[in-house]
Amino acid sequence: MSRSSVLRECLTSRHLDFLMEAHNALSARIVQESGFKAIWASGLTISTSLGVRDSNEASWTQVLEILEFMADSTTIPILLDGDTGYGNFNNVRRLVKKLCQRNISGVCIEDKIFPKTNSFIGDNQPLANIEEFCGKLKAAKDSQTDTDFTVVARVEALISGAGVEEALKRATAYYRAGADAILIHSKRSTADEILEFAARCPREIPLVIIPTKYYKTPTNVFRESNISAIIWANHNLRACISTMKKICSLIQKEESIHKVEHEIATLDEIFSLFDYEELSKSEEKYLPNV
């Protein structure tokens, strides 16, 4: 199966699958080696790793460059968190063409206003016009050069406080416009409104969720609730931040690395991740003996 067909199956099948966040080639390789079937290239974590805010401060071409390294270092599919599509329908169709060229398997586009604001900041974020957003989705599908490329429509109605009825209205319109799956998002600490949405959503619509805030809900609840995929959306970056803070503080305090060596990866682990042994063998094959 191609990468894109694997992602399509993950997002649209009736058994629950999982995507793990990555924000660069290193974290993408670790996600793959951990056994995940697909990668979520998070807008928040890529932006943060670049030292900018999750408000479209990183250009889409800068994100694309990172994605290329991620795709080159892995063999599993990547779903890009494409924010609002970086503009109107014209920006979206160029984005999709470039993603297909770089072996990225899908894009998720949210129905908010460009430039976007992270979903967990503030209240009553304005939503995009439904018809205009449907046009973006149609443009995305018309522009894909990979038959199995997946377009996910992210519904932000619950985030904005517009309620389940509005979320269902938007999800149905987006699916009819050509979206392959719907990502329904919530920032509540419980999954109540997500589960209500899932129960009322037409069964033929594949649903994806990001339980960052309602993480206490047992996974089996989602498995029984018409959910096709769960995205663990930011945990690699958050783990990096907490671990780097801890290690930096300890080295600063001790003025030595003695106490941290047993807590961090070895150099051999780094070398094995990206197959340094292959480079040594190739040097023997291709470089002259001088």
pLDDT in tens, 4-49: 999 999 999 989 999 999 999 999 999 999 999 999 999 999 999 9
Tell whether omega for the bond before 218 is within 30 degrees of 0, i.e. cis. no
Q: How confident is the model at residue 123 (pLDDT cuts 50, 70, 90)?
A: confident
Question: Based on the domain organization, do 250 and 229 belong to the same domain?
Answer: no
What CATH number did the domain enclosing 78 receive?
Answer: 3.20.20.60
The structure tokens 């600063």 sit at 252
Supply the pLDDT for residue 101. 98
Let me know how long the chain is.
290
Catalytic residue among 17, 54, 83, 111: 54
Considering only CA atoms, which of 104, 164, 175 is closest in space to residue 138? Answer: 175
Question: Based on the domain organization, do 67 and 207 belong to the same domain?
Answer: yes
Question: Based on the domain organization, do 137 and 68 belong to the same domain?
Answer: yes
Question: Based on the domain organization, do 252 and 215 belong to the same domain?
Answer: no
Domain that holds residue 249: 241-286
Question: Based on the domain organization, do 230 and 249 belong to the same domain?
Answer: no
3-state secondary structure string, the chain? CCHHHHHHHHHHCCCCEEEEEECCHHHHHHHHHCCCCEEEECHHHHHHHCCCCCCCCCCHHHHHHHHHHHHHCCCCCEEEECCCCCCCHHHHHHHHHHHHHCCCCEEEEECECCCCCCCCCCCCCCECCHHHHHHHHHHHHHHCCCCCCEEEEEECHHHHCCCHHHHHHHHHHHHHCCCCEEEECCCCCCCHHHHHHHHHCCCCCCEEECCCCCCCCCHHHHHCCCCCEEEECCHHHHHHHHHHHHHHHHHHHHCCCCCCHHHCCCHHHHHHHCCHHHHHHHHHHHCCCC
Question: Based on the domain organization, do 57 and 136 belong to the same domain?
Answer: yes
**Does the model's pTM come out above 0.75?**
yes
Q: Which of 211, 234, 257 is the last residue of a domain?
A: 234
d(CA 97, CA 103): 10
Poorest-pLDDT segment among 59-63, 80-84, 112-116, 157-161:
112-116
The C-alpha angle with vertex 218 and arms to 33 and 167, in degrees rounded to 5, equals 95
Name the phi and psi angles at 109, rounded to 5. Answer: -120, 130
Question: Based on the domain organization, do 103 and 211 belong to the same domain?
Answer: yes
- On the question of pLDDT at 289 being above 90, the answer is no
Structurally, how many domains does the chain consist of?
Answer: 2
* Average pLDDT score, the chain: 96
Question: Based on the domain organization, do 212 and 258 belong to the same domain?
Answer: no
Integer-rounded Cα Rg, in Å, for the chain is: 20
Residue 125: half-sphere exposure toward Cβ, Cα within 13 Å: 23
Average pLDDT on 185-208 reads 97
Q: Which of 234, 256, 272 is the last residue of a domain?
A: 234
Average pLDDT on 214-235 reads 97
d(CA 170, CA 275): 46
Question: Based on the domain organization, do 191 and 271 belong to the same domain?
Answer: no
- On the question of pLDDT at 290 being above 60, the answer is no
Question: Based on the domain organization, do 28 and 48 belong to the same domain?
Answer: yes
Other C-beta atoms closer than 10 Å to the C-beta of 31 total 24
Question: Based on the domain organization, do 226 and 270 belong to the same domain?
Answer: no
Question: Based on the domain organization, do 81 and 18 belong to the same domain?
Answer: yes
146 assigned to active site: no
